[in-house]
């Protein structure tokens, strides 16, 4: 019986660089209120959101990804030719095939990098980060580009009072590379498909194509059910990620949860009993919920503003449609 050669990957993987892109158009709550019966105070009190960014025609999923990726590659101090894999997490690229990752890999100038898309909603960044880590440790790539990108304005029903104010557009990217010490902890991830109806697309694309419905499909959710699940169940997952990494909340420097809703963030901080010294990402206030892009965008902003610094230990957790989730502890680049 033939024996396979052992993999020649790195012993560990780490995030080496981060970059973000937010569309130029800033949309305040007043614009949202033109089509729903609500108030700025209600939106802020329910979500913490003050503004969000919406993409124009030129700010496509690919274009935003390329901008964010260029910054991440520069931040990592490598060249695009060294990228061996490109993973894009998105639910708002409207071409079923080919994967937008292939276009991004080509336009960035990679040397025929492996490239593919995944769909894991707001947990997509965590899923992609875990896959990238595996590629590096296994030895199939030395550097992997992970991108979370969304144009959720295309999937927003501006007349839906429960969701019209939530979503924004943007792209966040990180370069993952080899490390001689652990810098991306074990991932605690999973799915609860029995709750898939709580966040979903209103109708399949085929119903719109056939004319069974006239309204373009949008994202809808059962707000209270999602809130309860996120607050109670995801706090448990976050704690499991800390335990898996072998650290306590006292040893944590930064908490970067999915930027879904500031009330959810506050409740998770309380449930986890995070010490006051822990910096908490609150990018949702000015960026809104950007699904797969929210964690890398929040990470990029914390580092850019100095609220977090290189070498800090951060707990990241994403959760959303599926319902799916992914949490891990990372060392910031």
Residues carrying an active site annotation? 122, 258, 289
Quick check: bond before 150 cis, omega within 30?
no
b (16+ CB within 10 A) / e for 121-155 = bbbbbbbbbbbbbebbbeeebbbbbbbbbbbbbbb
> Closest by alpha carbon to 321, among 228, 203, 197, 206?
197
- Is residue 119 within 8 Å of 90, Cβ to Cβ? yes
- Dihedral of the CA atoms 254, 257, 258, 262 (nearest 10)? -100
The three-state secondary structure class of 201 is: strand
What whole-number distance in Å separates Cα of residue 192 and Cα of residue 188? 14
DSSP 230: I
Q: Calculate the alpha carbon distances from 330 to 8, 131, 219, 223 in Å.
A: 23, 14, 30, 30
DSSP 231: I
CB-side exposure of 174: number of CA atoms within 13 Å? 32
What is residue 103's three-state secondary structure? helix
Cis peptide before 323 (omega within 30 of 0): yes
What SS3 state is found at 158? coil
How far apart (Å, rounded) are the C-alpha atoms in residues 261 and 103? 32
Q: Are 168 and 162 in contact (CB under 8 A)?
A: no
Measure Cα distances from 171 to 88, 128, 132, 151, 230 in Å.
10, 14, 18, 9, 23
Q: What are 181's two structure tokens?
A: 């010490």
> How far apart are the C-alpha atoms of 143 and 162, rounded to whole Å?
41
């Amino acid at each position: 019986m033939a024996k396979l050669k052992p993999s020649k990957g790195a012993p560990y993987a780490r995030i080496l660089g981060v970059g973000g892109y937010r569309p130029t158009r800033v949309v305040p709550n007043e614009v949202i209120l033109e089509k729903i019966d609500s108030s700025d105070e209600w939106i802020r009190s329910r979500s913490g959101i003050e503004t969000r960014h919406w993409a124009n025609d030129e700010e496509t999923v690919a274009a935003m990804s390329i901008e964010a990726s260029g910054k991440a590659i520069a931040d990592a101090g490598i060249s695009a030719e060294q990228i061996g894999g490109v993973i894009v997490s998105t639910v708002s690229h409207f071409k079923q095939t080919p994967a937008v990752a292939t276009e991004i890999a080509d336009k960035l100038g990679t040397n025929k990098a492996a490239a593919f898309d995944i769909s894991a909603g707001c947990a997509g960044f965590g899923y992609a980060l875990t896959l990238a880590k595996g590629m590096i440790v296994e030895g199939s790539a030395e550097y992997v580009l992970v991108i979370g990108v969304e144009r959720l304005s295309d999937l927003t029903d501006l007349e839906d009072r429960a969701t019209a104010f939530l979503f924004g557009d943007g792209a966040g990217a990180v370069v993952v590379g080899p490390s001689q010490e652990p810098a991306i902890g074990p991932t605690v991830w999973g799915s609860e498909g029995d709750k898939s109806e709580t966040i979903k697309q209103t109708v399949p694309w085929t119903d719109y194509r056939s004319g069974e419905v006239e309204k373009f499909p949008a994202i809808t959710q059962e707000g209270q059910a999602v809130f309860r699940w996120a607050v109670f169940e995801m706090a448990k997952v976050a704690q499991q990620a800390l335990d898996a990494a072998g650290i306590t909340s006292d040893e944590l420097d930064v908490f970067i949860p999915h930027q879904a809703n500031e009330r959810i963030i506050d409740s998770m901080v309380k449930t986890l009993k995070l010490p006051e010294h822990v910096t908490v990402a609150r990018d949702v206030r000015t960026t809104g919920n950007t699904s797969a892009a929210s964690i890398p965008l929040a990470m990029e902003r914390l580092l850019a503003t100095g609220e977090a610094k290189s070498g800090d230990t951060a707990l990241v957790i994403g959760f959303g449609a599926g319902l799916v989730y992914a949490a891990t502890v990372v060392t910031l680049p």
